[in-house]
Copies of this chain bind each other. A is one copy, B any other.
């Protein structure tokens, strides 16, 4: 991240990253599949937490309620370290390849969420839709949280956005 912030993602070579870490480029590629992946090391853990939260909601909860619980978990996980998130996000926003990578991580989250819902007996189509909608909320809320001047709390913004989506679809 240091180098990506200093001179931008494209302008830094893997050799430079490796050098700063006291390693060889070859070794870098043994830890990260590619130059982008190094910024997304945490996403697997995030996914685990999301799923754990989903699984621990009572079986009586509706699909969207379960998704909301998962989003809460995500919020508490990311909610700390806003400064870090902002810097990271500004690096990602500045480069198309990184944005692509982020999107596929989100898609993976969505897929995991949908699978989790199916495991609770939610119908296939409901599961994918609820998961996609949940991730849409996540995305919008996260972006808002990172962009706002004062920290209102990611969880709050998530809940707010979810309510907003509810209102929007109801009004159609």
Contacts and interface: CB of A to CB of B under 8 A. Distances in A.
A96 interface: yes
A171 interface: yes
A129 interface: yes
Interface in A123-169: 125-126, 128-130, 132-133, 135-137, 139-140, 143-144, 161-162, 164-166, 168-169
A101 interface: yes
A38 interface: no
A75 B166 CA distance: 24
Contact of A100 (B64, B100, B140, B166): B100
Contact of A104 (B103, B129, B172): B103
Interface of A: 62-65, 68, 96, 99-101, 103-104, 106-107, 125-126, 128-130, 132-133, 135-137, 139-140, 143-144, 161-162, 164-166, 168-172
A156 to B, nearest CB: 14
Contacts of A125: 140, 144, 161, 164
A143 B114 CA distance: 14
Contacts of A107: 99, 103
Contact of A128 (B101, B140, B172): B140
Pick the most buried of A128, A143, A164, A169: most chain B CB atoms within 10 A of its CB: A169
A136 B129 contact: yes
A34 to B, nearest CB: 10
Contacts of A106: 103
Contact of A140 (B101, B132, B137, B164): B132
